[in-house]
Amino acid sequence: MTTNEHAPAMRPCRNCKGTGSVGWFRSVGPGKTERGENPCPACEGRGELVVRDRGQAEGTQATIHSLDAVMGNWSQAVRKWWVDEPAPYAQHPLAVRLSWVEPRKRTRRSIVVYRDTKYVLVATPDGVTVYDSRADVPCDMDEFESERQRFADRPAFRTTHL
């Protein structure tokens, strides 16, 4: 038996624990519930996911860049950052969370990127890109650019403290 050396590496889905389906419960009346199963949204019912090279998924001393089509771009220096495994988030079948701790701070900040968001997150220590959220969550860059052009003449929101 020969193996295909070009076949992608696979791993069990963590959302459904490799079964390909997730269970649900629904209340249909006082003291009555319905139970069922749906295909897993993360692996689309296959029970396994392709292992992709995500680049570096954690690090120290970097700059997080957000490319936002609506609100404009921002950058934040961080002393520690990490990326969670891609997983379902709310009604979205696939999302990824990038978390970070700012210099001289203790609290964690994070942002979730899913398919319909109009922003991309990039981590760059020493000016070299080591993580790009598009590796985990696909982004239609043509739609991103058209949204950016639509909001180009509008200033971003500014928060002022009185």
Enter the pTM of the model: 0.62
SS3 15: coil
82 and 116 fall within a common domain: yes
The span from the CA of 16 to the CA of 120, in Å, is 27
The number of folded domains in the chain is: 2
139 and 70 fall within a common domain: yes
123 and 69 fall within a common domain: yes
pLDDT along the chain (162 residues), means of 10: 58 84 86 88 80 66 83 84 84 86 91 81 81 81 82 67 62
Q: Is residue 159 part of a domain?
A: no
| 54 membership: H or E segment, kind and range | none
pLDDT confidence of residue 107: 92
